[in-house]
């Protein structure tokens, strides 16, 4: 058991270009706790006597200032926890801080650069690396990704992958069993056999998280996300299994409601966050107090899920993320205050070892079979567990004869077979319980006689009896275990109320282990999930949401939007980098092949040399030929050299592969984000259009086509009432297939200078889209123009 307090770290986010730094200083002492001092100037502008404290000092395990890089964060905070998890202890790392302070950046990573990847991808990489190195154990790894929003849990690794709203994802609920263990119903555990699979799952979860978020519900800042890696290990042949899990938690923003200044729907959300973080705080206060017997874990879903991580069986680290610019100093101070309380909590991590009853049964079965075989060898007879009908009849006869026999020396000999001996006893007991008077007499007389006879039985019989007894005991143990298992399974089934096949259980105390879950029904769901995770998850967002259809106008608008989007630079950069990496990996692959064939050549030379020397030894034997061959030695050394360079290159090759994979995922993420932004922008523009229908200038102004509304509706949930537009078909001349429109933000119409003329396609829906797009574009240009001025 390892007893230690939660390790609390602070990370200061780099200041933005326009931000003004608050006054703070970091005192970083080697081997000691670091301290952070924040100074708040007395605010004279408040116009009243201000008794606020000026300087606040907080202690942390370590403070990572603005320039700290992701690899350093991983090495100092996450690596030690990951090591514990590999050794069989539970671990948790959670980030706490206001929205925008860098929680997601720290836990998951930035979406731009490979070097920005956060704790989750680095930890996955580290864990799989270590597992690969350790061949002494058999490891199984699963991951789960849970999002908690407004006290509801959602499974982010939903294999159906069609969710466009959080509510479409499977709802996860909490169950507590009679031993007060928490079970999460409907949270899928997906097996990941290597880093790539695990990263794909992470990417899938992040994508689902992003898609589910709309401007109205900024779920990422208002929800808690828990990515969990479950590791189980077992030595080959052993029945002992170690199970551990690592929670990597991105908490909701800790800012207070008053500051968010929102009403209505958003306020409900803010209140909820506040509630759940408030309950987290309550738990932490209760834990820090001595002699508190009740800890209010059950008040919120998040504290229930993280119960073990807080004051329980877990190695826990917290990262307080701080925005140190002037405007956020207050929030940073309250984050630090929270951190100081967390630092007082003591956890007791224990090695999560358990005997796997299934493996135990297998072992005992084998032992029973061995004993049976041995018995068969000694008696020369095969044993089944039941006596045959014939044998039973025979025994009945024997007993009857024995009981009727008046000879005091008569014996009841059934041989060294425990089953028969037992049967005789049972039979006699029955006779005793329902006796005829004469039988009774006879019986008691005979029993004492039998006892005497038994005493005389030989040594071998005793030995075999022992053996049989042993076997019976084992059978009893097995039967009991099976009963218990069955009961537990039934209980669980009852509690989960016939939960669906993919419902899984997070807590290690779960009686059904991972392998058990691979029952035919759940197995198929896992398999399905895996198949999909390697293929479907790369479907682009928009085509997914619009069923693969995007009208021509919409496509064109998207092309322009893409070009002007801020992220297009990132995509371009990453494209270049990818190109570079592809070229590099290709070149490396070629080199690797070269080295491999070189090694093969050298090996061939050695073989050739052997043959030559063997031939020489036959034709003209000499002492020299049996001796050490310097040429061969040289060849061997060359091979060693080549092997070394092969290994170095191969490692680089592997590294590059991971980097490329990651870059591809990053790019897809950015692309999806862009499509999402486009979608939002597009629907906003459509809404504006609806509100200002007078913007079109044309000789003819007609009511909008219904297709136009439809085409916009498939991109937005906003409904349209009436929009006016020009219909090319109603051009009186019938030739002027173009539309002209003025800048909508200008009240005075100056058609020639600020209007654009574009050709129409004749396809009514496409034309409507083009029209909408051109207007929107015009408006942006106008806005840009104003900004530039
Ligand atoms: P949170 O999850 O706490 O709301 P984010 O992680 O989304 O905050 O960070 C907000 C923004 O700041 C993101 O654009 C992120 O890339 C950037 N950011 C945060 N921390 C850092 C850092 N240490 N270095 C560089 N950029 C950062
Ligand atoms: Mg975030």
**Degrees to nearest 5, angle at CA 356 with 352 and 359:** 150
Instruction: Give the domain-ending residue among 357, 391, 423.
Output: 357
Q: Which atom of ligand 1 is nearest to the CA of 107?
A: 6
Residues 6 or more apart whose Cβ sits within 8 Å of residue 90: 244, 245, 246, 247, 308, 309, 313, 314, 315, 349, 352, 508
109 labelled binding-site residue = no
Of 70, 100, 220, 320, the one to substitute when testing ligand 1's pocket (max ligand atoms within 8 A of C-beta) is 100
Q: What is residue 214's DSSP assignment?
A: B
Is residue 44 within a helix (H) or strand (E), and if so which, with residue range? none
Ligand 1 mean position, distance from CA 100 (Å): 6
* Nearest atom, ligand 1, residue 101 CA: 3
Residue 659 located in a structural domain: yes
Give the pLDDT confidence score for residue 709 in this predicted structure.
Answer: 39
Does a structural domain hold residue 699?
Answer: no
Q: How is 575-593 classified by DSSP, letter by letter?
A: HHHHHHHHHHHHHHHHHHH
How much is the pLDDT for 495? 59
Residues 706-756 have pLDDT tens digits of 343 344 444 433 333 333 333 334 333 444 433 333 333 333 333 333 333
DSSP single-letter state for residue 627: S
109: CA distance to ligand 2 center in Å? 10
| 205: in domain | yes
For residue 103, say whether it is annotated as part of any ligand binding site: yes
Q: Is the CB of 228 under 6 A from ligand 1?
A: no
The answer to whether the CB of 105 is under 6 A from ligand 1 is yes
Per-residue confidence (pLDDT) for residue 717, from 0 to 100: 36
Residue of the CA atom closest to atom 18 of ligand 1: 102
Based on the structure, what is the number of domains in the chain? 2
Distance of CA 109 from the midpoint of ligand 1 (Å): 8
> How, if at all, do strands 182-185 and 171-176 pair?
antiparallel
State the pLDDT at residue 704: 38
Q: Which of 326, 357, 388 is the last residue of a domain?
A: 357
97 labelled ligand-binding: yes
Q: Give residue 106 CA to ligand 2 midpoint distance, Å.
A: 9
**pLDDT for res 516:** 37
Each residue's pLDDT tens digit, 106-131:
999 998 899 999 999 999 999 999 99
- Please name the residue whose Cα sits nearest to atom 5 of ligand 1: 102
Residue 370 lies in a domain: no
Q: What is the pLDDT of residue 693?
A: 54
- The pLDDT value recorded for residue 248 is 97
153 membership: H or E segment, kind and range = strand 152-155
98 annotated to bind ligand: yes
The reported pLDDT for the residue numbered 551 is 66
CA of 73 to the centre of ligand 1 (A): 14
- Residue 439 domain flag: no
The token pair that represents 761 in the structure block: 């396609």
pLDDT score recorded for residue 172: 94
Nearest CA to ligand 1 atom 23: 13
CATH number, position 226? 3.40.850.10
Is 103 near ligand 1, meaning CB less than 6 Å away?
Answer: yes
Segments of the chain with pLDDT less than 50:
259-261, 437-438, 440-444, 497-547, 694-759, 761, 789
104 CB less than 6 Å from ligand 1?
yes
Q: CA 69 to CA 567: how far, in whole Å?
A: 22
Check: CB of residue 570 under 8 Å from CB of residue 670.
Answer: yes
Which residue owns the Cα nearest ligand 1 atom 11?
A: 100
Query: Among 357, 374, 403, which residue terminates a domain?
Result: 357
Segments forming the whole domain that contains residue 589: 560-620+627-680
Residue 204: inside a domain, yes or no? yes
In a domain, 412, yes or no: no
**Atom 25 of ligand 1 has which residue's CA nearest to it?**
14
Which ligand 1 atom is at minimum distance from the Cα of 95? 3
343 CA → ligand 1 middle, Å: 24
* Rounded distance from Cα 349 to ligand 1 centre (Å): 31
Ligand number nearest to the C-alpha of 105: 1
Q: How far is the CA of 73 from the centre of ligand 2 (A)?
A: 17
- Write down the pLDDT at residue 64: 96
Ligand closest to the CA atom of residue 117: 1
Say if strands 315-323 and 7-13 run parallel, antiparallel, or are unpaired: parallel
Q: Does some domain include residue 725? A: no
């Amino acid at each position: 058991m390892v007893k230690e307090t939660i390790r609390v770290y602070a990370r200061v986010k780099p200041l933005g270009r326009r931000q003004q730094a608050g006054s703070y200083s970091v005192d970083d002492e080697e081997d000691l706790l670091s301290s952070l001092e924040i100074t708040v100037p007395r605010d004279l502008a408040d116009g009243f006597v201000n008794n606020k404290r000026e300087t606040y000092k907080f202690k942390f395990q370590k403070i990572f200032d603005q320039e700290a890089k992701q690899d350093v964060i991983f090495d100092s905070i996450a690596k030690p926890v990951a090591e514990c998890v590999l050794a069989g202890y539970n671990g948790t790392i959670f980030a706490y801080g206001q929205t925008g302070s860098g929680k997601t950046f720290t836990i998951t990573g930035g979406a731009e650069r490979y070097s920005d990847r956060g704790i989750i991808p680095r930890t996955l990489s580290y864990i799989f690396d270590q597992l690969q190195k350790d061949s002494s154990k058999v490891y199984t790894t699963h991951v789960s990704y849970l999002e908690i929003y407004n006290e509801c849990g959602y499974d982010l690794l939903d294999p159906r992958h069609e969710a466009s709203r959080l509510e479409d994802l499977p709802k996860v609920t909490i169950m507590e069993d009679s031993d007060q263990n928490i079970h999460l119903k409907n949270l899928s555990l997906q097996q990941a056999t290597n880093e790539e699979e695990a990263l794909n799952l992470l990417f899938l979860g992040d994508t689902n998280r992003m898609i589910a978020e709309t401007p109205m519900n900024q779920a990422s800042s208002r929800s808690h996300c828990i990515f969990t890696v479950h590791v189980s290990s077992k030595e080959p042949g052993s029945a002992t299994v170690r199970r551990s899990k690592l929670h990597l938690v991105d908490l909701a923003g800790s800012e207070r409601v008053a500051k968010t200044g929102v009403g209505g729907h958003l306020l409900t959300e803010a209140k909820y966050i506040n509630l759940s973080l408030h309950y987290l705080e309550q738990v932490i206060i209760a834990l820090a107090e001595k002699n508190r017997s009740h800890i209010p874990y059950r008040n919120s879903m998040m504290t229930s899920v993280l119960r073990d991580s807080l004051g329980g069986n877990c190695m826990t680290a917290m990262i307080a993320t701080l925005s140190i610019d002037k405007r956020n100093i207050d929030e940073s101070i309250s984050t630090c205050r929270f951190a100081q309380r967390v630092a007082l909590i003591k956890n007791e991590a224990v090695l999560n070892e358990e005997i796997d009853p299934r493996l135990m049964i297998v072992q005992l079965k084998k032992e029973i079979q061995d004993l049976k075989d041995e018995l068969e060898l000694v008696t020369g007879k095969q044993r089944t567990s039941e006596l045959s009908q014939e044998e039973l009849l025979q025994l009945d006869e024997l007993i009857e004869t024995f009981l009727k026999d008046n000879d005091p020396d008569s014996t009841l000999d059934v041989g060294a077979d425990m089953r028969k001996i037992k049967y005789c006893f049972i039979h006699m007991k029955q006779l005793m319980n329902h006796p005829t008077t004469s039988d009774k007499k006879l019986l008691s007389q005979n029993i004492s006689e039998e006892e005497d006879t038994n005493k005389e039985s030989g040594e071998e019989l005793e030995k075999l009896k022992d053996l049989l007894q042993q076997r019976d005991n084992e059978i009893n143990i097995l039967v009991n275990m099976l009963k218990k298992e069955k009961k537990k399974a039934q209980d669980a089934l009852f509690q989960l109320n016939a939960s669906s096949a993919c419902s899984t259980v997070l807590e290690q105390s779960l009686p059904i282990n991972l392998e058990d879950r691979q029952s035919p029904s759940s197995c198929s769901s896992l398999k399905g999930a895996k198949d999909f995770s390697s293929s479907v998850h790369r479907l682009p967002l928009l085509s997914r949401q619009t069923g693969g259809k995007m009208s021509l106008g919409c496509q064109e608008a998207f092309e322009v939007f893409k070009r002007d989007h801020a992220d297009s630079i990132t995509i371009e950069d990453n494209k270049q980098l990818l190109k570079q990496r592809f070229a590099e990996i290709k070149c490396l692959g070629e080199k690797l092949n070269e080295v491999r064939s070189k090694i093969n050549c050298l090996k061939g030379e050695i073989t050739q040399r052997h043959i030559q020397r063997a031939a020489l030894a036959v034709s003209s034997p000499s002492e020299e030929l049996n001796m050490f061959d310097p040429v061969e030695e040289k060849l061997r050394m060359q091979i060693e050299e080549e092997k070394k360079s092969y290994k170095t290159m191969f490692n680089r090759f592997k590294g590059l592969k991971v980097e490329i994979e990651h870059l591809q995922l990053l790019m897809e993420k950015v692309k999806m984000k862009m499509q999402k932004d486009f979608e939002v922008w597009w629907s906003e523009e459509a809404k504006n259009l609806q509100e200002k229908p007078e913007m079109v200038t044309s000789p003819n102004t007609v009511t909008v086509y219904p297709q136009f509304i439809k085409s916009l509706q498939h991109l937005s949930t906003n409904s349209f009432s009436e929009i006016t537009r020009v219909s090319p078909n109603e051009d009186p001349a019938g030739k002027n297939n173009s539309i002209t429109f003025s800048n909508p933000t200008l009240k005075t119409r100056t058609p020639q200078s600020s209007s654009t003329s574009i050709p129409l396609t004749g396809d009514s829906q496409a034309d409507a889209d083009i029209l909408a797009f051109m207007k929107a574009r015009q408006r942006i240009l106008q806005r840009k123009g104003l900004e530039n001025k």
